[in-house]
Amino acid sequence: MVKPTSTAQIKAVQTPLSRLGLDTPAALALHLPIRYEDETKIVNIAQAIVALATSAVQTQGYVIRCEVQFRPRRQLVVLIADETDELTLRFLNFYPSQQKQMAVGMHLRVRGDLRQGYFGPEMVHPTVKVCLPDAPLSKELTPIYSTIAGLGQATLRKAIEKGLKEPELKKFLEEIFTPGVICQNKYPFFSELPSLEEAIRLLHHPDSHTNSASLLERTHPAWRRVQFEELLAQQISLQQAHMERKKRQAPAFCRQKNSRKDAFLQILPFQLTQAQHRVWGEITADLEQAYPMNRLLQGDVGSGKTAIAALAACYAIENGYQVALMAPTEILAEQHYQKFLPWFTSLGISIVWLTGSLKVKEKRLAQEQIMRGDAQLAIGTHALIQEGIIFANLGLAIIDEQHRFGVRQRLQLHAKKGTEPVYAHQLMMSATPIPRTLAMTYYADLEVSVIDELPPGRKPVVTKLIKENRRPEVVVGVQQELAKGRQCYWVCPLIEESEVLQLKTALETFETLSNTLSEYSVGLIHGKLKAEEKSSIMARFKDGQIQLLVSTTVIEVGVDVPNATLMVIEHAQRFGYAQIHQLRGRVGRGAEQSVCILLYSDALSTAAKERLQTLRNSSDGFEIAEKDLALRGPGELLGARQSGDTMLRFVDLQRDAWLIEAVKDLAHDLLQNEPQLARKHLVRWLGSRTELLKA
């Protein structure tokens, strides 16, 4: 037999269950329902019609008509009736077998949402069972599971039932923490929860008396037990990683004679703010420890994180170590390079630049300089963690916009420690503040510093919402700003025409604005340009040779042009919270008052309207981050989604915030007093995924 080799061949021989990862009794047991259908109650057709536009209902009747209609499209229309009324069932997609199943004279039990159709009340694609009028009703709520094409609910339920009966599941679900282990006085909520086995079985088979609202909202005690178990495993893993990190060896930096830090502060054209001084003190204390720093530096756009990163780099270099600075895009990496180059060249520090777009010869030269230790500071993109990049003596890794990197990518850089068993300190930076619940849950092994003060003279950016039909007025406003000798951005969501999204594109906007504002130099930058073209355009914009820059979100992070005072974001309803907050951070970097205009179309969804109003009314990065968390979930904000691991399947960071507080303390107690039980629990829940939580 020939074994499959390609991904496509391997996928072809996998069953739908294995593609969902449901290949063990434990995996099947933990594939919990996403919702339930109530098939425990039935009403007659007249009562069902009275309940029109409320929740789904179950009714039954005999088929009195079944026909295929062709207007306005091919569809199967079935009319059922009981002694009280008639009801239309409509199927837009159907098989011939369904037509036979629902032949005239058959008795059907149907469940679904009723709506007012053109010819009266109807159900579209209801659940249908052929049965006798007095067939018994289900005694339990019917679970509905997430699934994939080719795997129906009936097949999935059958597989889960089989998994729940397997003897090995009993061992997997056995109680690890007895009431004696978990102090009831300190954690009283635990005594109110069912055992894990009881919780799992109830969630798969809730009886008709179970509170369906609490099941749906995931606040039922059975859900709470599952959430408790999962969250506890995650917190144990993170706190264990924190304890392990403190056992590792790292270079302990100390103050040197002829300090480069002091020399750097002398050449800075500004004084550090109080917030920057405070944060630098926290970072210095970490760098002087003999175990690796793992610190997140948060600060809104323009708060001065780069200067702090440069200070940390100076401290590492004056102690004889190399520094790596990694950014998610070439534009951001090059901005750092251009900023660090004049600073560090004057201090006699050698810098090397490494990105994927470099020519082979240039890349090899950079790699050799890093390997020999000639390069004291290496700045680049993901290229810094590619195979073949070995640092001679890496002492500090700085990762900018850390949420843009996958968890595994951050782990890779963390492991770059040269030939010695010494770990590099790690400083991560983000202009997207981490919401408190996210920091508590995912960053238990991370110290957090916040620069909560803008440099003197900086004014908050004024944000305005303007309808698309006032576009000509906006163009006039841009012209007036350019006439004052200032510069502007015009941001578009697409590069070229799309049949699906009929939006103004960057190319079309560039042509229109070039003609309308012909007396000014208009530039265009987008992701499809080559790296050297992007670099050239950004350099010309920074030098003032380009007055108006039309762009896609390629300028979202890293662009620093103090003379740019106006930004127009076209089709703003298409952008998320963090994107707009990052984009408008490109203006307001000088002393002049800056404005960000959000152009939007008339047809706004409720969510888009709320998003734009929040962004207009608030420039608080933490408030915006909380909103973003509610909208996108933790996986995207963490970068975990990029690696396929969103980590928490059953816990909602906002709904379950109270549980996070309690479980965090419990994890600490267990690691101190019951380390073997903590390890057993960790292995049960996370298995091989524990390594990812250490990023």
Band (pLDDT 50/70/90 cuts) for residue 694 is: very low
In terms of DSSP H, where are the helices of 272-431? 274-287, 305-318, 330-345, 360-372, 407-414
- Conformation bin of residue 320: beta by default, left when phi > 0, alpha when psi is -120 to 50: left
- pLDDT at position 415, please? 45
**Does residue 454 surpass a pLDDT of 50?**
yes
- pLDDT at position 496, please? 59
* Cβ-contact 149, 155 below 8 angstroms: no
The model's pLDDT over 390-415, given as tens digits with 9 standing for 90+, comes to 888 889 999 887 555 554 555 555 44
Of 411, 441, 453, 440, which is closest to residue 428 (Cα–Cα)?
A: 411
**Does residue 453 surpass a pLDDT of 50?**
yes
pTM higher than the cut 0.85 = no
**Domains in the chain: ranges and CATH:** 41-137 (2.40.50.140), 260-451 (3.40.50.300), 462-618 (3.40.50.300)
- pLDDT at position 356, please? 80
Of 454, 489, 488, 463, which is closest to residue 302 (Cα–Cα)?
A: 454
Band (pLDDT 50/70/90 cuts) for residue 640 is: very low
Of 668, 672, 229, which is closest to residue 440 (Cα–Cα)?
A: 668
Mean pLDDT to the nearest integer, 452-474: 86
Mean pLDDT to the nearest integer, 605-616: 84
Whole-angstrom Cα distance, residue 594 to residue 196? 56
**Does residue 270 surpass a pLDDT of 70?**
yes
CB neighbour list of residue 350: distance below 8 Å, 6 or more residues apart: 369, 374, 375, 376, 377
Q: Which of the given ranges, 229-243, 279-293, 360-374, has the highest pLDDT on average?
A: 279-293
* Cβ-contact 603, 470 below 8 angstroms: no
- pLDDT at position 1, please? 42
Backbone angles phi, psi at 629, to 5 degrees: -60, -45
Structure tokens at 114: 């009723």
Q: Which of the given ranges, 51-60, 186-195, 516-525, 567-576, has the highest pLDDT on average?
A: 516-525
- pLDDT at position 644, please? 35
Lowest mean pLDDT, pick from 494-498, 599-603, 622-626: 494-498
**Does residue 39 surpass a pLDDT of 90?**
no
Reduced DSSP (H G I as helix, E B as strand, rest coil) percent helix, strand, coil of the chain, to 5: 45, 15, 40
- Conformation bin of residue 64: beta by default, left when phi > 0, alpha when psi is -120 to 50: alpha
**Does residue 13 surpass a pLDDT of 60?**
no
What is the average pLDDT value for the chain, to the nearest integer? 83
